[in-house]
Structure 1
């Protein structure tokens, strides 16, 4: 069997880079060479974070990190998906083709397969043009892919118009085995403005059409979490949960430096006592809500570990001052945490989360009850999965002003921590998920099947 060289191409965002790095590490462990291609903007963040991180050996990685420009200026708003997709589509295909050619001519490296993020599906045209295999990796929930693939039906059923915008307020089901979805699940309509929403929608339609050029569809999920989605998309192979191993290069692929001091702080806390609060890399709060969250955590009278990002963009409303009356004596605040390590710590009691897919997978794989506070895109549907389908979490209820009050935060923390049913369901699900990745488990077998195909 030959040693395959796989080019891996994530969407330039933390939540997409993370699982594709873990996936790449699995391929490396099974004898593959990996060329991991980020945009220059993300690549520089990754390299800078690795340089600052204690115990991160940047010299020995078997994953070769390379970059190509996304076509945007240094100060462009890369959270505006419409602008980002348009620029990537105009600039990156030619650059990727040149990179593959340069690898062959200058380094003697022949790429045998491209594994691209669903939202980078333009890469499959390049794969076809140069005669190599294309494989789609979906880093979010399988249910979201099912939604993306159902666009023609959503139009026929009067859920969205031909521009992808919702035209009804009613909930809908993709199939009888699917949980109901509401209009907030139409994620491309939730971007910055209507122009951006339309650009994003067009990009999604294009990605779905390009999927016919691929040989495999892989996904960081399991049928235990979303059985309806896998019966709806029989081609989609679950290879989750993709979790960072303790011995792996933990900092590889992180866009921010992790504060490891929180682990020694957790070591000093009682078993199952700490509320872990983290909202991913993009959630933003206004000042009122930020204040209620701070005072709500204090009100619980329990130890808490709270991740409060300090974004380099000074206009970001994430750089908010803590309220004057907040003492924070029973908590620890960090700018970024080694999340998988934190969630697996015995001191953690529950996870207050935005329900991003990586956080969802990591929380479920560690048997931690959730308190769900979704922000955008697929996070609203993840909340439905966690609270209504899997029953391992609770949601918060906003008041008449749309605010989640400090009293509501305290009440839900008390409720989730006193609910034995939620805790036992979370533990049972954890065992099922981890069995998937053991020898003979479904995800492990799927991954082996894929690697065998790569080597042939």
Structure 2
């Protein structure tokens, strides 16, 4: 029998692809061969974003392949409802075709292990059908999110949600467990977009969770036990291997959907230590023009240096949407870029705090660098992460919305001043950093768990 050959399958979103590629790099370090499965659309984005840099797929031991997502080329992949509905229908079949084609070509290095995203866990029965006996699920969100998924039958039974996932009351409080995040029924992970979108995202989560529970042997998570111990009590099978950060292996992260503007690192070199507000909202957050301008005016009002990631699609006509005269007024202390090498930015000594949408990757990156947060979640598990940051770990602040709608420039200035003037935020963030990094160092729990996982992959099944 040849060496282990691992098929890695993320959900087709940047926040999932990045940790899955980082996991793949770690597998390579341990002598495994990896084939990484993107959708066709995601594959193009990743390759285009690299713009002549060393390709993550240049390593002959890491092959990037792709399968259709079932949508036409012109259809909007940010329409999560349509994308989720299509993935549930087509991904298992397309994956089965891919595995059979690969195994027919390479007799000595057939697929021996599948590691798939919990959110596309409906592919595990395919691996079982094809007699791939090592099947592992990887959760790229907080373990608390999976604890919520496991409670779905209970939430239906007690009348908090309907069988299609829609909330019966929008403001009902849900505590995931003792000393765990508290969210409202309007902030459930699948409550994004219109009702059709919610139902399709909910179905993807249910089918993925069911597939994982039925057919996955191993369940690993990009977190550390010390950050959310109660979640591990609620989901006993889950094992921590995080945080998976490129900086922990002195490497570069990969999987971004936009080209990085590295000029911001030179700009940061010119700033004072702990002076810069880093503002970044991930790959999917969008603002209407009024909120976008209020955010810009709030950053201006702080009178502090800031680095702001402004994607082209973050608002309509982003380059033209700034308030009149804004760019000229902040030219000496503000820098706007289309995309940033975030892990390098967050580790830069000039960064004072992280103004974030609270995606789990961003949360792990901020925590690992000992930074206080200003939290502006947009959808999905980001509300769970905000609750961790503000209510449980107490290393950040939430914003209040005027009339429940807009976050004003005055609110932005107030919270920035508050989080930067109170050294307790920085002290608690520093403690979290030390605790988190201990887990991935030699002998730490995440380090031990990952090495055991590698040995499990390498162990041949008894005939």
Q: Would the alpha carbon gap of residues 2 and 433 (structure 1) be closer, same or farther in structure 2, given more than 3 Å must change?
A: farther
Match of 2:18 in 1: 18
CA deviations over 1:389-415 (Å, ceiling 9, x no partner): 100001111112621111111111111
- 2:158 corresponds to: 157
Question: Within 2, Cα distance between the matches of 1:57 and 1:156?
Answer: 46
Q: Distance in 2 between matches of 1:24 and 1:58?
A: 11
The Cα of 1:56 is off from its aligned counterpart by: 5.4
Change over 3 Å in CA distance of 1:57–1:379 after alignment to 2: closer
Aligned equivalent of 2:234: 232
Q: 1:289 aligns to what?
A: 291
Aligned 8 A contact 2:137 2:218 in 1: yes
How far has the Cα of 1:22 moved from its partner? 0.6
**Of residues 253, 256, 260 in structure 2, which corresponds to 1:254?**
256
Alignment check: 8 A CA contact 2:181 2:384 kept:
no
The CA deviation string for residues 233-278 of structure 1, in whole angstroms up to 9 with x for no partner, is: 1100011111013776635322111111111111111100000000
Give 1:91-170 correspondences, 5 Å limit.
91-108=90-107, 109-132=109-132, 133-168=134-169, 169-170=171-172
Matching residue of 1:196: 197
- The yes-or-no answer on 1:426 pairing with 2:429 is yes
1:94 Cα deviation after fit: 2.2
Residue by residue over 1:184-242, the C-alpha shift from the partner in whole angstroms, topping out at 9 and shown as x without a partner, is: 33121x22211221222222222222122110111111122212111111100011111
Structure 1 CA distance, aligned partners of 2:457 and 2:7? 12
Q: Aligned pair 1:441/2:444, yes or no? A: yes
Query: What is the deviation of 1:302?
Result: 1.1
Cα distance between partner residues in 2 of 1:403 and 1:174? 28
Q: Mean Cα displacement is larger for which, 443-452 or 99-108?
A: 99-108
CA contact (8 A) 1:286 1:317 kept: no
Query: Which sits farther off after the overlay, 323-332 or 104-113?
Result: 104-113
Cα distance in 2 for partners of 1:203, 1:407 equals 39
CA contact (8 A) 1:56 1:251 kept: no
Label 1:33 to 1:57 Cα distance change in 2 as closer, same or farther (>3 A).
Answer: closer
- Residue 280 of structure 1 pairs with residue 266 of structure 2: no
Deviation of 1:305 (Å): 0.5
Q: Distance in 1 between matches of 2:90 and 2:336?
A: 40
Structure 1 151/243 Cα, relative in aligned 2: closer, same or farther at 3 Å? same
The 1:272/1:373 distance shift into structure 2, 3 A limit, reads: same
- Equivalences for 1:5-44 in 2 at 5 Å? 5-44=5-44
> What are the within-5 Å matches in structure 2 for residues 174-213 of structure 1?
174-188=176-190, 190-211=191-212, 212-213=214-215
Q: How does 1:298-447 map to 2 (within 5 A)?
A: 298-311=300-313, 316=316, 320-326=320-326, 327-329=329-331, 330-400=333-403, 402-447=405-450
Aligned residues: 452
Distance 1:56 1:27 in 2: 17
What CA distance in whole angstroms lies between the structure 2 residues aligned with 1:2 and 1:101? 17
Instruction: For structure 2, list consecutive stretches of 5 or more residues without a partner in the other structure.
Output: none
Q: Give the TM-score of the pair, scaled to structure 1.
A: 0.95
What CA distance in whole angstroms lies between the structure 2 residues aligned with 1:263 and 1:164? Answer: 43
CA distance in structure 2 between the partners assigned to 1:40 and 1:161 by the alignment: 34
- 2: CA distance between counterparts of 1:149 and 1:225? 20
**Aligned with 1:350: secondary structure?**
strand
* Maintained 8 Å contact 1:220/1:239: yes
Measured on the aligned residues, the alpha-carbon RMSD in Å equals 1.9
The C-alpha deviation readout for 1:32-53, integer Å capped at 9, x for no partner, is 1110000000001111112x15
Residue 272 of structure 2 contacts residue 350 of structure 2 at CA under 8 Å; is this kept in 1?
yes
Cα 1:362–1:258 change in 2 (3 A) is same
Shift of 1:105: 2.1
| Corresponding residue SS for 1:245 | helix
Task: Note if contact 1:279-1:353 (Cα within 8 Å) is conserved in structure 2.
Answer: yes
CA distance in structure 1 between the partners assigned to 2:317 and 2:128 by the alignment: 44
* SS of match in other structure, 2:266: helix
CA contact (8 A) 2:356 2:373 kept: yes
